[in-house]
Structure 1
């Protein structure tokens, strides 16, 4: 605040209600350090150009300057647990075979034969292979990328002096994820994320979880619009009115960390500040016990005098999750059990590390149409404490007309929420293309994640093109 005038400076305005941290501070089981913190930064108030969403040349620049330089989550280690297992990760025009070799090391090979360019493995597939063999003429590589065989080698004597191993992207492992980067000169993953986020990742222990449900759907909107639909809770009142009676929305917390990570915290078990005069503490409980898919099942406790709905829900969630997972959650904070923690890892990953809704979102642009996005939702569970094997879910691909609620294993109520989040996208894409206004106007606080995200894109697009370097990417 400007001391002389008493006026708020840009970015200082907040919802005139209790803050997220004030809500969390009253919980019985205290929040860990990574949750009980704030990291907001004012990043300007200028409009965001609409061209980045509607101009195909902008998408081309992203493929040439940004996607080739950034760390991306290709798969989970659990997708390729044994030697010979592989998983194909496609991002725009690029494709990688993420494979575990005979010694257990993981590689990310560019998915193209060095003979005449045929894809070695079909896009969006996974499986087991003893080698990587081209289906066209039979050129074959070992799982570590070294050349095994050229049929009729006598006719290729002129290639004997060449390094004919498959080019590879860089690979790092963190949190049970396999991360890849096409740029040999990019900073390592720890520097890319920063020390604070590395500490958060260590606290979450995501390597101890596995994917039990994986659903994918394509949307008729630019990938950035699709991601940004999930970056704020400002839309909750109008897009998800059914959750507002038990969900903090306009008083959610927003944070940015370095250049590549941001988050919001949205609290559960409290009434939206916009509805405080309309709903009671008992109404909050009722909101979560309506219908067959409610979060608290058929149980509807009556609050005793002085009890807070949020605390009663936290205690019930703790009992429910302990029974479902056979784990001891007595030391897990109430906020981890209840609240939505949404982290964006630039460029295209969302991690939700909480206990009640541990999820992964991944967004990938359609290489052939800058107006379409491939959107994936993955749900996670703790791995059994006894070490018994788990099965990573295969992806279910929905058609455009299908609801997320139709996916096998999807909670119907949450499927409806995902549909609501994405139903606006087509209208937004078409509206931007029809608009006379050259840009989008963002809130300084509630939409800071969008501005932070777009500034990161601008940083990479200001660099010269960096296409995959054949020489630098050959490892052997």
Structure 2
């Protein structure tokens, strides 16, 4: 029996790490510009190794339980404050069969209403719309409401003596803001957003300055898979060597770090500019630099890629990206650590949002179930760039809606290399959905460490679906 197998069998659940490789924290500790505390922290917890039932991905009745017990009780990212900067601005957020009008009613106040007329139920504003309104008027019979939700007009009021206008305001959902994001919650008894996210995450997000970013690109696409499968495709780096071989040369995939925070937040840190443990010894530092790709590879055009003796690909890439992103964004990034400039930081905010607070991959992902088909889900990618130090704040980019057959590379403004990565990620999902429905095995089997985010996420799903 090999030493590696002996080591594995002697370890307790969750203790094993990629053998013979530096940890994420050891890689980051060697950087020139040191990382802040939120980067250097670790918080892994073993959560068992039993299979996760496949019913949650393939059964329509399970999706119904999610609508009843999960979506109705959780905090969800609805829009950015930049979508509704002025009083009267509104943004429609749809979640499956639900729809909400999120609007600014005062400089310092945002409210959200169920998007339905109280007369005969017609939507007051179309799905996927945004704009400015002085009132919300039903297009069917003309009943209207002020932007503060109070009833403004009942047509032929003489025929509705049973309607008390002062009691006929639009039903509201809770609204809180955090770091430029607007969150809503249908549950009046839910904890505050801060309590829901937990103190560890709040300390992290308050360090990022995401309120000082703007949406530079927003792309949406319907994916032929359950929303949870769609999300879980992005929760681990375990798939990189097989699904993204073009990036494995410069991605520390198998020695990425995974952390959980309370019930609703988890993350990974995947280091870039270093060789995959799967490929150790097969490439030089110069090879790593030459094959490096990031989410905005256009900024590297024409850059000097010749390493000096003893120089690492990781350090050169961090230096190059700091200089180039500073110029591109008209922002001072001199105090930002090499790790924040370079590495992939991915935080899941339960139930359906990912935050990537780094500079090279400054993204937000959002996943929403299809209104009528639990085998489909909407995937959205937002790129959040730093607001320029001079000039007006840029307006948020309008969404680009791709058809299911289209490549992410077809979205105007999408970096082709990153578009390839998103295509590779999502092309697996139809096969996974179909495979789970065809399988004789009633559950999925997860790695104890590299797939802990999936287990952590599904434990929260189980809790809400059970009504706890």
| TM > 0.5 | yes
1:309 maps to: 313
Distance between the aligned counterparts of 2:29 and 2:106, measured in 1? 50
SS state at 1:246 partner: coil
Structure 1 stretches lacking a partner, 5+ long: 465-476
Distance 1:415-1:289 versus aligned 2 partners, 3 A rule: closer
Distance between the aligned counterparts of 2:276 and 2:349, measured in 1? 27
1:14 maps to: 17
Distance between the aligned counterparts of 2:157 and 2:305, measured in 1? 76
Distance between the aligned counterparts of 2:237 and 2:255, measured in 1? 9
Distance between the aligned counterparts of 1:458 and 1:289, measured in 2? 37
Q: CA deviation at 1:296?
A: 2.4
Distance 1:289-1:373 versus aligned 2 partners, 3 A rule: closer
Please tell me whether the aligned partners of residues 330 and 390 of structure 2 are also in contact (alpha carbons under 8 angstroms): no
Pick from 131, 139, 142: which aligns with 2:143?
139
Distance between the aligned counterparts of 1:125 and 1:250, measured in 2? 42
- Give a deviation string over 1:359-402, Cα, whole Å, max 9, x none: 00000000100000000000011112236231110100000110
1:166 aligned to 2:166? no
Distance between the aligned counterparts of 1:87 and 1:289, measured in 2? 35
Pick from 54, 76, 95: which aligns with 1:91?
95
Please tell me whether the aligned partners of residues 289 and 300 of structure 1 are also in contact (alpha carbons under 8 angstroms): no
Distance 1:118-1:299 versus aligned 2 partners, 3 A rule: same
Q: CA deviation at 1:155?
A: 1.0
Pick from 432, 438, 444: which aligns with 2:436?
432
Pick from 378, 384, 391: which aligns with 2:382?
378
Distance 1:346-1:169 versus aligned 2 partners, 3 A rule: same
Please tell me whether the aligned partners of residues 298 and 415 of structure 2 are also in contact (alpha carbons under 8 angstroms): no
Please tell me whether the aligned partners of residues 151 and 165 of structure 2 are also in contact (alpha carbons under 8 angstroms): no
SS state at 1:101 partner: strand
Distance between the aligned counterparts of 2:297 and 2:33, measured in 1? 27
Taking structure 2 as the reference length, the TM-score comes to 0.96
Distance between the aligned counterparts of 2:159 and 2:92, measured in 1? 31
Count, aligned residues: 459
Distance between the aligned counterparts of 1:297 and 1:207, measured in 2? 29
Give structure 1 regions of 4+ aligned residues with deviation exceeding 4 angstroms.
292-295
2:349 maps to: 345
Q: CA deviation at 1:218?
A: 0.2
Distance between the aligned counterparts of 2:401 and 2:359, measured in 1? 26
Distance between the aligned counterparts of 1:302 and 1:386, measured in 2? 34
Distance between the aligned counterparts of 1:116 and 1:49, measured in 2? 40
Please tell me whether the aligned partners of residues 344 and 361 of structure 2 are also in contact (alpha carbons under 8 angstroms): yes
Please tell me whether the aligned partners of residues 82 and 104 of structure 1 are also in contact (alpha carbons under 8 angstroms): no
- Give a deviation string over 1:39-58, Cα, whole Å, max 9, x none: 10000100010110000000
CA-based RMSD:
1.6
1:73 maps to: 77
Q: CA deviation at 1:462?
A: 1.4
